[in-house]
Structure 1
Amino acid sequence: MGTAKRASSRRRGASALTLLCAMAILTAPGLAVGDAYAAPTPPAPSPSAPAAPGAPAPDPGAKSLDEVRKEIEGLLRQAGAATDAYNLAESETKAQTERIVEIAKLVVAGQDRIATLKNRAGAAARAQYRSNGLPPGARLALSDSPADFLDGAGRLRQGEKATTDLLSELNRTQTDLERYAKDAGAIWQKMEENRVRQEAAKKEIEEKIKAAEALENKLEAEEKARLIQLEQEAQYKAQTAWLSTGAMKGVNGAATDAGLRAVQFATAQIGKPYVWGAAGPDSFDCSGLTSQAWLKAGRGIPRTSQEQLRLLPKVAVKDMRPGDLIIYFDDATHVGMYVGDGAMVHAPRPGRNVTMAGAGSMPIKAVVRPDA
């Protein structure tokens, strides 16, 4: 078996093991994740290797690995904020495009109606011409028969009303077309503004991610491994501090059927890479994962974490149940899905894969419920 084939087999084996673990989580009572998150075990410390004989002394002005970690996280947080702006502009553009299509259909129908009304008006004008241009009222007054006069008077009133109605409908249809044109112009303007926002957000995202990758790529293999461990240690510390406040005391809400389906979808994506702007099927960003999970559960929700916070009903942490979304950071730039027993599943950041983490491993802003 070749090296690539062995590596592929190992990846499939790891994915299968991850999926089995996720399904075990889902079938346990109350969707329990186990003691790993309710009472996390700290990552094993990585012993520092002694300096090699004759190696140069560390540069006292150089950044520590933990400082590098924080700088990378700061850059990626900024990229996350820009990603939300990009995704929001994209979803708004999609809705506006659909509205433009609706308006185009209304314009076509209005134009057809105007053509029909003009034909009717033309027929009335031709009829008047054939009667030597004499108005119906004048022809009626010249009638020798009182019965014809009375009968004609009734028809005259009907004809006048029909003509008035025809002109009124023609005017209304023309006004509608003018309004459609105005609405379409406003929507095109918004679409152009969204395009500019998307381009600016995309540029910022790419710059921040590139800067973070440049920092990480300067690290040696051992330093990269240590960087991952530092991330885990920071998450463990935050989760432990959160649990020590009693935040999980009495939190035992049961998932709804829709919530269970959302959790099953989200946990099935474990191991897939984070890619900004992605919403599956092969990669996700944080809100792409949560929005797709709930879409698969039968409920459409906003695409971005900030819109999820703004538009979905909020619930207290003590009332959390699996399937609820946890919005993180003051600017609401990250979101994960609560799966039970103090854990959540999320797409962390560029360079990392969809994974499980402690629900309190980042600062919680709010909890929202898609199926309230």
Structure 2
Amino acid sequence: MNRRHCASAAITLVCALALLTAPVQAMAAPIPEPGPTTTAPPAAAKSLEEVRAEIETLYRKAGAATDAYNLAEEQAEKQSGEIARLTKSIADGEAKIAELKDRAGAQAREQYRSGGLPPGTQMVLSGDPSLFMDGLNQARQGQQATKGMLTELEQAQEDLETYAQDADLNRKKIEAGRVKQAKSRKSIEAQIAAAEKLESQLAEKERDRLLELEQDAASSAQAAWLSSGALQDINREASPAGKRAVAFATGQIGKPYVWGAEGPGSYDCSGLTSQAWAAAKRPIPRTSQEQWRQLPRIPVQDMRPGDLIIYHGDASHVGMYVGDGQIVHAPRPGRHVTLTGAGSMQILGVVRPDK
């Protein structure tokens, strides 16, 4: 054991002397090979512009999911209203069937009181020609009334069955909508949380610079849109309803964006536009995608204040044109209702609620 320790110490001493007498060279510290228990070196930091683009993508995805959530909510409200209407129809149908059954019972009781003889037999046995003719007319009227009552009863029963089936279908649609809403809500919250996490990791100066980059990108897009001559023929006056809608929308400037909100303290993009047109007494669909799908489309060059500009290929954002190349809109979480250039985002098209 002692000889082995002495040999090991001698080898160590020789190596140390060799290192001390060797020429000095600049060398980088070796990078360990990643192994099962070794953490790989972190990836290169993203540029602020890359972070901005990633945050924008996340918020756009959240916007699309918000549209799906709002649409499911709007459909659920309509279906709930339809169920209420059908429930009343079912109650009315049941009351009508009860009335018809009472009438049928009254006829049966009347026949019993007359001895149970058919009307024709009673008329023959009367021996009075005038009574016979009166009885014949009454019998015909009674037969027609009975036939009509039976037809009415059959129709009432068919209607009642249809109402019940429709109500059940609407309940199933509501349940499916709730499932869809839950999925959309989860997606919205995940996208927003991811975007907020990215932004929270930035220093204060970087966050300020991020806002500048966001504004620069919007300004550049607006400048390119204007240089294309897009505003050359856009000088139309708003309609009376359009003026009321614009007044409402601009009156919300400074209020925060909150997904799913439609006022009065906060809005999402389509919550703002739908409430503005509701204030103008022209109800429109709740979501930007349905606004694009259902409202009349017009060429950009025919745009006037009050019209809605739909953005991005998936129609996931909307703003209201207010004139002079500007829109009022609720941008995204973390921002407030504001004015910005109409060309600051990718324009899908323009719709007019009061065409």
TM-score by length of 1: 0.83
C-alpha distance in 2 between matches for 1:270 and 1:228: 18
C-alpha distance in 1 between matches for 2:347 and 2:265: 28
Q: What SS does structure 2 have at the residue aligned with 1:142?
A: helix
C-alpha distance in 2 between matches for 1:145 and 1:266: 85
The 5-angstrom pairing of residues 184-263 of structure 1 reads: 184-263=167-246
Q: Does 1:272 align with 2:255?
A: yes
C-alpha distance in 2 between matches for 1:125 and 1:264: 69
Q: What SS does structure 2 have at the residue aligned with 1:336?
A: strand
Aligned residue identity for 2:292? L
User: Larger C-alpha radius of gyration, 1 or 2?
Assistant: 2
Deviations 1:107-146 (A, max 9, x none): 1111111111111111111111222322222222322122
Q: Does 1:179 align with 2:179?
A: no
Q: 1:285 aligns with which of 268, 271, 280?
A: 268
Q: What SS does structure 1 have at the residue aligned with 2:126?
A: coil
Structure 1 residue 214: Cα displacement? 0.7
Q: What SS does structure 1 have at the residue aligned with 2:168?
A: helix
Q: Which has the higher contact order (CA 8 A, sep 6+)?
A: 1
Q: Does 1:76 align with 2:59?
A: yes
Q: 2:73 aligns with which of 90, 93, 96?
A: 90
Aligned residue identity for 1:175? E
C-alpha distance in 2 between matches for 1:167 and 1:232: 74
Deviations 1:206-254 (A, max 9, x none): 1111111111111111111011000001001111111111111121011
Aligned residue identity for 1:335? V
RMSD: 1.1
C-alpha distance in 2 between matches for 1:270 and 1:130: 80
Bigger mean CA deviation after superposition, 341-350 or 146-155: 146-155
Q: What SS does structure 2 have at the residue aligned with 1:279?
A: coil
Deviations 1:67-125 (A, max 9, x none): 01111111111111110001011111111111111111111111111111111111111
Question: What's 1:364 paired with?
Answer: 347
Q: 2:110 aligns with which of 107, 127, 145?
A: 127
C-alpha distance in 2 between matches for 1:208 and 1:172: 53
Q: Does 1:103 align with 2:103?
A: no
Aligned residue identity for 2:67? D
C-alpha distance in 2 between matches for 1:241 and 1:211: 31
Structure 1 runs (4+) deviating above 3 angstroms are none
Question: What's 1:333 paired with?
Answer: 316
Unmatched 5+ stretches in structure 1: 1-58
Question: What's 1:163 paired with?
Answer: 146
Bigger mean CA deviation after superposition, 143-152 or 288-297: 143-152
Structure 1 residue 61: Cα displacement? 1.0
Aligned residues: 314
Question: What's 2:307 paired with?
Answer: 324
C-alpha distance in 1 between matches for 2:326 and 2:156: 58
Deviations 1:283-303 (A, max 9, x none): 000000001111111110110
Aligned residue identity for 1:317? V
Aligned residue identity for 2:143? E
C-alpha distance in 2 between matches for 1:219 and 1:241: 30
C-alpha distance in 2 between matches for 1:181 and 1:226: 60
Structure 1 residue 192: Cα displacement? 1.0
C-alpha distance in 1 between matches for 2:92 and 2:233: 59
Structure 1 residue 60: Cα displacement? 7.3
C-alpha distance in 2 between matches for 1:129 and 1:259: 72
Structure 1 residue 204: Cα displacement? 0.5
C-alpha distance in 1 between matches for 2:181 and 2:277: 25
Q: 2:292 aligns with which of 306, 309, 320?
A: 309
Q: What SS does structure 1 have at the residue aligned with 2:199?
A: helix
C-alpha distance in 2 between matches for 1:216 and 1:111: 61
Q: 2:132 aligns with which of 134, 149, 154?
A: 149
Q: 1:296 aligns with which of 279, 285, 294?
A: 279
C-alpha distance in 1 between matches for 2:140 and 2:205: 96
C-alpha distance in 2 between matches for 1:60 and 1:145: 113
Percent of residue pairs bearing the same amino acid type: 60
Question: What's 1:347 paired with?
Answer: 330
Unmatched 5+ stretches in structure 2: 1-41
C-alpha distance in 1 between matches for 2:282 and 2:239: 13
